[in-house]
Structures are given as structure tokens and as C-alpha cells.
Structure 1
């Protein structure tokens, strides 16, 4: 019963992650009863109970994970493991909070000083928070004393596989190691969490649950709809129809929305009487019809035994909860990784398509397009390093490109060969490029087309990246066989990115998982300690008010600016900055003061204050403050002036006087590459160094000068999110490699790395 309640409340908590994850108590009890019936019997009571618990946990896990999106499956497994361990007293509540929060709410100035520069500020804060737990009470001393040992361990490729420094290797179990890894290497957190799940729950929980449509269908009955949650680039229609054919059942489908309800009604009536499958696509477009649909299923007196209702829908807040609770949910997402993507593409290629053209170039070109198709999808997961804007490239783009290449080869003059400019233009600007709205993304796509699509691709030495060639095959099966031999895990270099890109991706993944867990924690008043939630926040508010600098006095500001010369460009800018800063200070001060009054009960706790309270307790920035801090800067154009630049050898401290012409810019960070100070050129990033501080750059303006094509034109953005709003300008950087290399690497300069 205890295990049952843990599982049930966890499943119902998942609805806070996504409103489509609704499960009813009835569904859960059904699973509970099945576990009683199906688990291994045993005459010894304690053994029998253990068997039931074991069986039930796994069944509930499989059932729930099937209805979750990929990004939430791991989160669910981790939460399941943590909750069971907390109930077994293997993990304490404060350890759980340290895992999900880290040191986000600490102030660096109030902590003991860092022993050395290479330790990141955030890492140190995490370690200080960690040292409050009994097992880690001396962790800060250990690191200060043996800092070199820790650095050697930290610099290893996979620190979680290596023995830990000092006596920790022997004394820490799998979960405590996870706490340590989370403090040091956010990018390895997920890998260590996987090991923890295997250690606590067993192997079968760490492997993903593969969707088996036939099993899912066996679980259903005529009055239980099957709902597929759609995501980018996935549509289960073909799989459902194929399964129907195999089971000799006819499937008929209607796409809901725009007055299709009449047809849907007719389809339902016919199939409910005569049997067969009805598939309603895109149900989120016909929400009014859903309530009627539910009544039809529940209230129709007799329903044919072979009748099943399949539905597909995107996530929608107004989708009827009761319908979700009575149905079986499953998600069907495009697979992760190049191998899986190519497999999926070639799974849809028929032998006829492979033999459609006798020209020698046809098969290699088809494979190259399939490879490009998987690459553009895979680059999405690397965030702004991959694409500035994540586009929804799909099967239609692939089909259009294949059709174009087929036509192009049919009309080709055999003596002249393929017209590469045409092929590259069609791929980079039209077929795939048609979706692309950002200029730098367009540049990236054209570069991929330029690097891969040329006469060289038919040569024996061509490869996309070491180990990824174009196979010479004659049948679809040969191709699938070759694809199966590709690595399961792709290095980011296959897509043209630096191996460091994986750190960015893994860190983001870990942050999303932990933030989501933090966001769905119950907002009860006690945090397992002696202090209530309100008392903690009141203490924080006092602390912040004490540190908040006083506001600016308007007269004083005016007087000082008068002295400095109010119309100099930098001073105009300074005045605007002071006004903005003043607004932020006033807002923060009023929120904190009102929050203290509301906690004392003097004034009423408004919606904004409630949000501020929750955010401060969770060590996040309140939403009301964020609105004030962002800003958009509209530039002006000097039509025929171009910005020119030279990167100097100096750092900020070496400069004493302004340049004779232009301005010195410092404090820019290079992402995706390193900087060779001696030769003043771009080089590869150092392992684990994601951002490198650039030396001072002198930027000046000239009348139209011709750009040197050998330089890499590097965009500057205000923030790591690379959108048009954050774009400032571009500077030219010197490079030994061809500029295309850095385009694929996604190299940019950032004003701020947070």
C-alpha cells in the first residue's frame, strides 16, 4: 500500500510537468489489481509482498513512461527512484533538496573564498551548500588542501567513471557520488544519475521503454480511446494503419477541425456498429467536438468488439481532462541520433526509389541528402550553437529534395555532369532553406551544402566525418546494414561542432530536469527543517534589502553629468543606464518590503507577491523582476559606413589612453572556438573551456571597403540566446582554417555568458 501511494502521487504529480499527463485513480487501480494477479506467487508472505511491489512498480513505470515525451521519461524515472529511496530512508529530505537546488541561493561574498581560480563560481557555491551535509562536512578543506588532485580528476573526460580524490572513493555510495558530481560537473549529472537509477532500481529502469503499438492495442478495449501525443516531426498514422493491416482490421481516418465534425460523427457511428478502427487526427483543433465524442463512447449501448478509437493531438491546455484520464496515452517521437534518423529515413525508402535512376551519381546523392536531413535535425539539440532558431525540418523537406535531385539527374547532360551550383542553391536556399529565417542560419545551411555536395563526394576518400562515409550499396537492406554499423552515440564533430558542444547540451539537459523537479515540489509551509517556508523567505528578504544599494538622487546625478559634459555619447548612454537601474532598484526594494509586510500579515498576499515568495524559496528570479531587466535596443544605420576591427594583443589592464580613431571594446566572450593570442587567430577550444575571454578589440568605421573572404565574419550577440533582438554586429577574425569550418562550429562572440 505504501509503494502504491508513492507511485500514484508521483503519477498525478506529472500533470504539473505537462497538462496532458493525466491519469485517473481508476486506471491506477486497474494496474494495481493486475499486479496482484500477475506477479509471481509465493507461500512466504514477505516474499509474496516483495514480488507484488517489484512487479507493480515496473508495470506502473512502463505504463506511465509510454505516455511521456522523451524529455520527461528520464525525469520521471529519476523522481521515482528518489521518492522510493526517501521512503526507505536511504536518502534524506535535505539531501534531495541539495540535489535539485545546489548552491543557487547562496551569495559568493558571504561564502569562504575559493582556493583557486580554475574552480567556477557556481561550482564553489554548490560545494559550499554540499558541505552543510554531514557526509561532506570537510569537503571544502579537502579541496583547498589537495587542489591539484581535484583538478586532475575534474579534467578527465568522464569524471564519474574515475575514482574520486581523497577518501571519498571508498566512503560514498552511488547517490552521494551523484551529489558530488552535480556540484562539480553539471554536464555529467545525467550520466551519474543513470548509474544511480541502475544501482537503486535495477538495469531495466535505465533503458528506455520502446513503444510497442500492438501491446498497447491489446491493453485497450472498445470504450478506451488510444491517444497519441504529437511532437515535432512525428506522425503515427502510417504505423497505426500498418498495424491494422497486419491484424486484418480496416482503419479509416478523419482530420478534425474546420467543419470536419460531421464526417467524424459519421465515421464513429459506422465503426462502432460494424467494428474496425477510427483514427481522428489533430484533435486539438476540434476541442468542442471532444466532449460530445466522450459522451458517445461512454453512453452508446452496444459497441462492436473490434471497434477501437485512435486519436492524435498536440499538447493543449483546454483538452478535456476526463477524456485523457479514461484513455491510454502514448508518445511517438522521432528517434535520437544519426543512426536512428538514417534508419528511419531508409526504412521509408523503397527499392523502386533506389533503382529509379541508372545514373551513377543517384545513390550517393540520395544518401547524402538523408545524411543532411539527419544532421539538420540533430543540430537542434545543441541550442544556439546548432541553430539560432530551432526549425521544424520534416519528411516533406526530404521528399522535395529527393524529387528535385531525381529530376535534375534525368535532365542532366552526361558530358557536363551535375550542376553543383544549382544543387547547392536548391538545398540551401529553397528546399531546406525555405524554412530558415535567420541570416546566420542560412549561412550555416549553405555551408553544409557547399562542404558536402561537390564532385568530391563520389571520390573514394570522401567522408562526412571520420567513420561516416557514403556506402556503395545496391539494395535498401545493404544500406540498412551499413547504417546499423554506425556508432550509437555521435560526437558533436560529426555535425561540424566542437566536442565541447556536448558539455553545453548535457548541462542544459541536467538543468532542465532538476529545475522541473524543483518546480513541481509541493509548496507546503515546511521544508523538512525547523523553519517555515515564509520564515526562510523573510530572512532572505532582510538579507537582500541590507545589500541593496541606495537609489540615485536625481539632482546629484544631474549635477555630476553637467560637469562631465552631458552631450558626450557615452554620457547620454550613462544617463539612460542610470534611469533603468533606478527602475530596477525601486522595483526590487518595493517587492521585498511588501513581501515582508505580507508575510507578517499586515497586507494581503497578492498574486505577484506569492510568485516572488515561491521563486525566492526555490532560488529563482521572480517573473516581475525579469520583465524590467530585459530591453531591446533599436540601432540606427549609417548607410555606407562599415565597421572594421582589429584584435589587439592587450588585455583591459594594459590600456591607458583611448585610440586615435574608433573605440576599444573589451569583455567579449568567444563561444565555439579558442583564441591564439600569439598569432591572433581562431583556434580550436580547449577541452571543457566553453567561453574564452577575447583581448581588447579596436572597432572603427570606414567608408565601404571590400571584405576579405579569407576572414571569418563572426556575429556578436548580447546574450547566449542568439536571436535578432540580441544581435549587435559582426567582426572579422583571422583564421588558418577555411572560414566554413567556424560556420559549422557555430562560433560567435557574446557580451554576456549567463
Structure 2
């Protein structure tokens, strides 16, 4: 195996070689090493010519398999390409939810439930829609003691044809069944009445409410194009015409780009923000309202006070959410570099190929956003290209894990063998290789010879205790799983999870909880044997000359 190929990549290629179109891929990679290595090193392998004439001999899906095997971080761009060619490119782009279309689809007997995620509060959009339709909307933030007010407002809204918005319903789960009965069974209800709910996902959320409602999410879109598309999709020509000055439209686009940037940085984890902040639409609305008021005060003598604008954005509207000093420093850097006189010139850009368009109407802005690239480099957010590798890899792994989880669980494996028989055989195999339990008095006697109270031996005793716990959990799970497959004992949730994960070559949750993370079950079990060998040798053969530091539970 070549040095530049990781163990995981080689295992992927071994599995890939079982398919007819890739039967020679292992030999080709070994014999034509330089060509494959150069293709592997390219920034976007899916966009360049594939080695060994695979560009012409493979369809898009098989190219996706090859890209997934070599470069997991490029799986999503290639998957979007495959989806676009198969179903249409509109399915490869983020979908911008239209609350107005959803409202027209609903009726007075159907609640509308929004599932919240970070930075996804639809309150402002719902209130804007109610204002546009000239329908009053009352809001109640649910919590202890709010049921009385919610009950009164619900009855009043049904009679008068108003909207009601119940926020954070996961904090008032007890009221949901009563709310649903009121919505469905009240005889005299005005046709204009609508019941909107927002909630975080909760395991005890009412099933009846879910089945009787229209369910939607309002998540921040992924990517600069999708973020700007949603922002300008929620604005009207009235906002664009709020000021006659050209500078107003430029500032409007600048704030929209900042809004998208601060939300997009969140996906990079600690590289983006030390603390993930819930920047949402209300921050954007407050900022453009402030800039509009600022311009009104200046009147015809338009001369923006940049220190004021930067302070309000970096310390109040967006900065008010920021608690970490370095995050505050980053946000203020954005405002200092982007919000200055230079932004009104043609030479200004946020990043290469990201300039401010000179638009006069809301449709011009939307047309410009549609022309933008679907994929963004981390350079746009001021990050190193490597920042995107971790994010794309984790996202691809999460999506593929979800796909595996929703596969039918009762299908037979190759050759008619059932899942249970495959897992039963794997349990036998692992049990035969699993190390024997440490016998406490033997460990104690061996450590006494080396000096029980020496710091390193105290550390060793703690590590051996942790390893014994892992061995015990693994042995008990495997034995119980065999009994459950035989029908001797009941298959509980933990055993069902173990069955599914072992079949999918992943680490069961109960094992992960007491041990370490690993990409596959095979790597995890090899780690178990290697770690145990280090401890066993140290205890019964004396202290080694070299330590495998990452093989310890707590190497600090």
C-alpha cells in the first residue's frame, strides 16, 4: 500500500474492487501511483479528469463512489452534481421556504409547527406576513404559568379571525393537547384564524399535534448563495426604496453579506466561532433599521458616521450576542474591514469574486444572487481551505450514517444469510479474540513488585481498571446479543443498537460510552487489542522503554 493512502482509503478501495467496473482499481492505483496521487491532491477531484479513463467509462454515480473512497470531504459536492444530473439542479440547491405559500395551504383547523434549530427563529417572518396580510397576530412565549394567557388569546383569536403564535412549545408540553382540542372542536371559528407554533425537538412532544399539523423547519441555508437568497427573498421593494441614496442599497447588501458570513462560520465549529451563537433574522432586521434611521437623521447631507455604524453592528446588534473576547475581536474586524468609505467604490470586494452589485430593485439583487456559485471557498469567511475539509467530511459521514440507519433492518445479507446470522458469527469471532479478564490479586501482586506507590504504577492501575471495564462491557454485550438472537432473552434497546451497529461495522453506543471514538468497528476492536497488549505487557513483564501515548485513556 502506498504511503499517501490511509488505511480507511485502502479499505474503501478493497470494497470498491468487488464491483465489476472497479475490479482492477487496486492494481491500477499501485502501478500508476503518480497519476492517482496528483488527482487525489487536486482541490476538487470531481471537477478534473479521472485517472485510467474513468472520466469516460463511468457514469456520475460510479464517479461519486470513487470520489467518496479517496476524498470523503468532496462527497457532498459530487453528490450534488449527481442529484442535479439525475433529478434537476433545483434539487441540488437549498430550498427557500415560503411562509406565504404555506399559509395559503393551511386552514383554520390545522396548526403550523416550526421545529427550531440554532439561528432559525421564524417569529419576525411570521409577524411580517401577518402585517402584509393585514391580520393581527398575538404572541405568547410558553413556559410556567403561561397556559392561562395562551388559552385566553387562543379563544379570542378564533372568534376575531386573528393569528396566534405560541413560541417555545417544548416548555409547555402539557398545554398542547388542550390547544389541539380547542382548534379542532370549537364550533364557531373565523376562517382567517391560524395557529402557529415554534418548538425545539423534544421526545415527549405530542404525537397528535404532529399528525394534525403542517410541519416545517426554518434552518439557515447552507452556503453564501443560499443565505443571500433567503435574505433577499424575505425583503420587499419597499425596503430597497427606503432611501434614495445609492449608498443605502450598497450598505443593505453589505449587511446581508455579513449576516450570511456570521451564520456560515458556525458550521466550522470552533474554527468559526469559539462559542456557537444564535444569530438570526432579528439581528439583520435591527441592523438595517438602524442604518435606515441613521440615514434619515443625516438627511440630504449624507455622510455616514462609520465609528457609529461599526459600534452598533459589532457591539450591539450582532455583538450583543457575543460573549467570547476573541469572537468579539473577530466580529469587530469584519465591521472595520467591510464597513468603510471604500465599500462604495468599484474596487471593493468581500473576497475574490464577491463584489457588491449595483442594483436598483429587489429583483436585481435576486438575479445577482442566482448567478453566484453554489460552492464557497473558506477564504470567503477568512478561513484556511483546510477548515472546509473537516466540515465536509463530518457532514458526509453524518448523511451516510443516516442513510444506513434508515435502511430496512429485516433484509437478508449476501447469499441469503440474515442480519442476525451475520452478527452472530461476528460475535463468536470477537469473543474468541477478546482478552481474558484481569484478575485483581494477580495485578496487585505484579504492581507490588514494581512499586505500588510509584506515580506511573498508580497511573497504570487506573488504566487497567478502565480497560477491564471496557472488556467486561464488550463481553457481556456479545454474550447477551447471542442469547437474544437465539431467543433466550429479550432484545432490549441496547442490544438492538448493538445488533444494528455491528452489522453496519460501527461501534455500539454502549461501547463508545466507556471507551474511545473510532471510524469503524474493525479499527476500534484492533485498538482494544493493542491497548490491552500494552497494559498487559507493562503489568506482567515490567515497564516498557517506549510508551504508546494515544493508547492510554488519560495520557495527561
**TM-score, length-normalised on structure 1?**
0.57
Q: Does 1:538 align with 2:424?
A: yes
Residue of structure 2 equivalent to 1:628: 514
Q: Distance in 2 between matches of 1:380 and 1:462?
A: 25
Give 2:197's match in structure 1, choosing from 311, 319, 338.
Answer: 311
Q: 1:469, CA displacement in angstroms?
A: 6.5
Deviation larger for 345-354 or 489-498? 345-354
Q: 1:473 to 1:510 in 2, by over 3 A?
A: closer
Residue of structure 1 equivalent to 2:499: 613
RMSD: 4.6
Residue of structure 2 equivalent to 1:694: none
Residue of structure 2 equivalent to 1:703: none
Q: Distance in 2 between matches of 1:321 and 1:364?
A: 47
8 Å Cα contact 1:182/1:188 also seen in 2: yes
Q: Distance in 2 between matches of 1:522 and 1:445?
A: 48
Q: Does 1:196 align with 2:82?
A: yes
Instruction: Summarize deviations over 1:381-426 as a string: whole Å, max 9, x none.
Output: 112322344222345666788899999999xxxxxx9998x99999
Q: 1:355 to 1:566 in 2, by over 3 A?
A: farther
Instruction: Summarize deviations over 1:85-139 as a string: whole Å, max 9, x none.
Output: xxxxxxxxxxxxxxxxxxxxxxxxxxxxxx2111111111112222233443333
Q: Does 1:598 align with 2:481?
A: no
Residue of structure 2 equivalent to 1:153: 39
Q: Does 1:253 align with 2:134?
A: no
Residue of structure 1 equivalent to 2:332: 449
Q: 1:600, CA displacement in angstroms?
A: 3.2
Q: 1:190, CA displacement in angstroms?
A: 2.0
Q: Distance in 2 between matches of 1:270 and 1:477?
A: 39
Deviation larger for 377-386 or 388-397? 388-397
Q: Distance in 1 between matches of 2:455 and 2:348?
A: 54
Q: 1:667, CA displacement in angstroms?
A: 7.9
Q: Distance in 2 between matches of 1:480 and 1:540?
A: 56
Residue of structure 2 equivalent to 1:140: 26
Aligned residue runs from structure 1 range 74-93, under 5 A: none
Q: Does 1:230 align with 2:116?
A: yes
8 Å Cα contact 1:253/1:278 also seen in 2: yes
Instruction: Summarize deviations over 1:471-500 as a string: whole Å, max 9, x none.
Output: 999999999998888765432112221112
What residue ranges of structure 1 are gaps of 5+ in the alignment?
1-114, 411-416, 632-663, 669-717, 720-725, 729-754
Instruction: Summarize deviations over 1:55-111 as a string: whole Å, max 9, x none.
Output: xxxxxxxxxxxxxxxxxxxxxxxxxxxxxxxxxxxxxxxxxxxxxxxxxxxxxxxxx
Residue of structure 2 equivalent to 1:125: 11
8 Å Cα contact 2:68/2:75 also seen in 1: yes
8 Å Cα contact 1:354/1:475 also seen in 2: no
Residue of structure 1 equivalent to 2:97: 211
Give 1:510's match in structure 2, choosing from 378, 396, 409.
Answer: 396
Indicate the SS of the match to 1:159: coil
8 Å Cα contact 1:226/1:311 also seen in 2: yes
Q: 1:509, CA displacement in angstroms?
A: 1.6
Q: Distance in 1 between matches of 2:387 and 2:331?
A: 18
Q: Distance in 2 between matches of 1:251 and 1:429?
A: 33
Instruction: Summarize deviations over 1:183-236 as a string: whole Å, max 9, x none.
Output: 222122222222333343344433443323333233233323333333322333
Q: Distance in 1 between matches of 2:333 and 2:514?
A: 44
Aligned residue runs from structure 1 range 428-507, under 5 A: 435-436=321-322, 442-450=325-333, 453=336, 457-458=340-341, 464-468=350-354, 489-507=375-393
Aligned residue runs from structure 1 range 741-752, under 5 A: none
Residue of structure 2 equivalent to 1:293: 179
Q: 1:334 to 1:458 in 2, by over 3 A?
A: same
Deviation larger for 309-318 or 508-517? 309-318
Residue of structure 1 equivalent to 2:58: 172
Q: Does 1:589 align with 2:472?
A: no
Residue of structure 1 equivalent to 2:167: 281
Q: Distance in 2 between matches of 1:499 and 1:551?
A: 47
Residue of structure 1 equivalent to 2:270: 384
Instruction: Summarize deviations over 1:342-377 as a string: whole Å, max 9, x none.
Output: 676784996899799xxx9x9999987765544332
Q: 1:297 to 1:457 in 2, by over 3 A?
A: closer
8 Å Cα contact 2:124/2:282 also seen in 1: no
Count of aligned positions: 512
Q: Distance in 2 between matches of 1:215 and 1:477?
A: 19
Indicate the SS of the match to 1:294: helix
Q: Distance in 2 between matches of 1:511 and 1:387?
A: 22
Indicate the SS of the match to 2:43: coil
Q: 1:277 to 1:567 in 2, by over 3 A?
A: closer
8 Å Cα contact 1:256/1:286 also seen in 2: no
Q: Distance in 1 between matches of 2:472 and 2:339?
A: 63
Q: 1:538, CA displacement in angstroms?
A: 1.5
Deviation larger for 567-576 or 119-128? 567-576
Q: 1:393 to 1:666 in 2, by over 3 A?
A: farther
Q: 1:182 to 1:383 in 2, by over 3 A?
A: same
Q: 1:136 to 1:553 in 2, by over 3 A?
A: same
Q: 1:238 to 1:428 in 2, by over 3 A?
A: closer
Instruction: Summarize deviations over 1:247-279 as a string: whole Å, max 9, x none.
Output: 4x4232231524444444444444444544444
Aligned residue runs from structure 1 range 316-715, under 5 A: 316-338=202-224, 341=227, 347=235, 372-394=258-280, 435-436=321-322, 442-450=325-333, 453=336, 457-458=340-341, 464-468=350-354, 489-524=375-410, 526-527=412-413, 529-554=415-440, 557-558=443-444, 560-562=446-448, 564-629=450-515
8 Å Cα contact 2:113/2:199 also seen in 1: yes
Q: 1:379, CA displacement in angstroms?
A: 0.9
Q: Distance in 1 between matches of 2:317 and 2:547?
A: 40
8 Å Cα contact 1:342/1:371 also seen in 2: yes
Q: 1:618, CA displacement in angstroms?
A: 2.1
* Structure with the larger helix share: 2
Q: 1:610 to 1:257 in 2, by over 3 A?
A: same
Q: 1:427 to 1:727 in 2, by over 3 A?
A: farther
Q: 1:530 to 1:390 in 2, by over 3 A?
A: same
Q: 1:554, CA displacement in angstroms?
A: 4.4
Q: Distance in 2 between matches of 1:581 and 1:160?
A: 43
Instruction: Summarize deviations over 1:492-527 as a string: whole Å, max 9, x none.
Output: 112221112222222122111111121222322634
8 Å Cα contact 1:283/1:312 also seen in 2: yes
